[in-house]
Structure 1
């Protein structure tokens, strides 16, 4: 996952509302969002190369999402960041307890930002430059490939798009139309050079990676996801893309929340 914007306890209908884009090489095999046969109640896409995921929710009212932290050359690590997402949604412990157990082995993974919702509280953890964890304050936030809430242009645009929808009457419907949220995620406009972050990958690549939605032949946005978590259910809508942004399919599911 490379871009996440979300609202936490800042809307009367949706305690947690999240929009996200996953950017990846198109050749990397992935499964579309679905219930996982080996993990009852767990829903989302799956990385078929390493077995983990970038964004998962569960009927027990849990959610996890991960982004990599871009800071120069990739950090060598023996374990896939997608494991972090799968491990949490299958677990039953509160988010801070889960993160405390992760702290001693966080260095086994590449640089990451990890967002965890246990149905009650929302927590953030990172292992760059060192492991830290904190509870997320109510409000509207973004998480991309840098520090949490860093004002990168793509992050700011995603938060603005999410906020515009949340502040509209349409967001109060029981089954709202997610089209405006997907439109916010579909923004392909590069950021001006003066606004680009410097993550050590060079100006040309910074430009290519700067829009919320990345269009490329070999690498680009593979899926856009909207998650709306209410008191009784979690709506999970995933739209999938191929090379050059070709639409491959969409899945729209309502997950009933059951007691943990």
Structure 2
């Protein structure tokens, strides 16, 4: 059950913090240009099993998108379910989803030159929620939903920090507040850094991203947690990674398979400087639950909490 906090300054300008919850046994790749043929110039966090993205950004279009799971209100047979992993990739190329959709429920947060919005699909209806200027928060339900414990607990705290555009270092302020939230037990439903297993899901918080979208460009930073559901406040943020349209693919830059400092990190490698996660199981033998970015068949992982 991922979480996004976003501060919209104006159309085309926003800053956000996104925390990804996923089954630790489901393999994924850190920030990189993983789709050079189908989505040239796009960078993102890739789900290896389905090949899609949890978060994606396109600098040429000044766009960013994040995918979160949402409950279904109707049953969708597993054989008919299409992966949601293409949603963020298509979104940052200006192609938003159109109903009807043969997909499990989702919230797709989009940031672009025209503004920011959330597209919500529950298996029956596709709704649009425009994100007004100011600080907002979303998880597995609606934007700023006060019935979601973590939003009720922490949205007022993020808003109290004031506009990010007025801050000398908003990333430090927001990550410090994230660290404060992590003082809660990860099983607590108010927690942002989470262990969802007591709530009936196999997912745990694995990483977070800090991103800025402005008319001048897109910057993204990704930080892998030292272990699932564990936040360390002394983990330094990496330098901003500007998303460049001409970024080379891992295949074109074999040295990236050996150096953790490369923009495109090695698939499954360990980057101790940036907290990359290690391989967790041999390829083809990884277990795991359903991710936002896969078709999956577990209705348990698609219901609301």
TM-score tier, shorter chain, comes to: 0.7 to 0.9
Query: CA 1:255–1:168 in 2, change beyond 3 Å: closer, same or farther?
Result: closer
Q: Is the 8 A contact 1:65 1:115 kept in 2?
A: yes
Match of 1:153 among 135, 149, 174: 149
Greater share of residues in helix: 1
CA RMSD for the aligned pairs? 3.4
Distance in 1 (alpha carbons) for counterparts of 2:229 and 2:115: 38
Cα separation, partners in 2 of 1:160 and 1:41, compared to 1, 3 Å: farther
The CA deviation at 1:210 is 3.6
Distance in 2 (CA, whole Å) between partners of 1:70 and 1:4 is 17
> Number of residues paired by the alignment?
230
* More strand per residue: 1
1:155-174, aligned counterparts within 5 Å? 155-167=151-163, 171=167, 173=168
The 1-side partners of 2:165 and 2:63 are apart by 27
Q: Which residue of 1 aligns with 2:69?
A: 68
| 1:69-88 superposed matches below 5 A | 69-70=70-71, 76-77=77-78, 78-88=81-91
Give the structure with higher Rg (CA).
Answer: 2
2:211 corresponds, among 202, 217, 227, to 227
Which residue number in structure 2 is paired with residue 20 of structure 1? 18
Residue 155 of structure 2 aligns to a residue in which SS? helix
Q: Give, in whole Å, the separation in 2 of the partners of 1:166 and 1:216.
A: 30
Distance 1:3 1:137 in 2: 18
Evaluate the alpha carbon distance shift between residue 249 and residue 58 of structure 1 in structure 2; reply closer, same or farther with a 3 A threshold: farther
Q: Secondary structure at the match of 2:176?
A: helix
SS of 1:183's partner is: helix
In structure 2, list runs of 5 or more residues that go unmatched.
246-305
**2:27 aligned to 22, 26, 29, which one?**
29
SS in 2 for 1:5: strand
Q: Given the two structures, how large is their TM-score scaled by the length of structure 2?
A: 0.64
Match of 1:254 among 241, 245, 248: 241
CA distance in 2, matches of 1:74, 1:209: 26
Distance 1:235 1:103, change over 3 A: same
* 1:142, distance to aligned residue in structure 2 (A): 1.3
TM-score, reference length from structure 1: 0.73
User: Counterparts of 1:250 and 1:158 in 2: how far apart (Å)?
Assistant: 21
Could you tell me how far apart the structure 1 residues matched to 2:209 and 2:42 are?
Answer: 16
TM superposition shift of 1:104: 2.5
Stretches of structure 1 that go unaligned for 5 or more consecutive residues are: 192-204
In the TM superposition, residue 45 of structure 1 has moved relative to its aligned partner by 0.9
Match of 2:289 in 1: none
Counterpart CA distance in 2 for 1:118 and 1:230 is 9
1:183 match: 176
Q: Is 1:114 paired with 2:108?
A: yes
Between 1:220-229 and 1:249-258, the stretch displaced more is: 249-258
- Is 2:236 aligned against 1:243? no
CA-to-partner distance for each residue in 1:35-89, whole Å, 9 max, x for gaps? 2352332122111111111111111201111111146999655222222111212
**Do the aligned partners of residues 164 and 69 (structure 1) sit closer, same or farther apart at CA in structure 2, a change above 3 Å counting?**
same
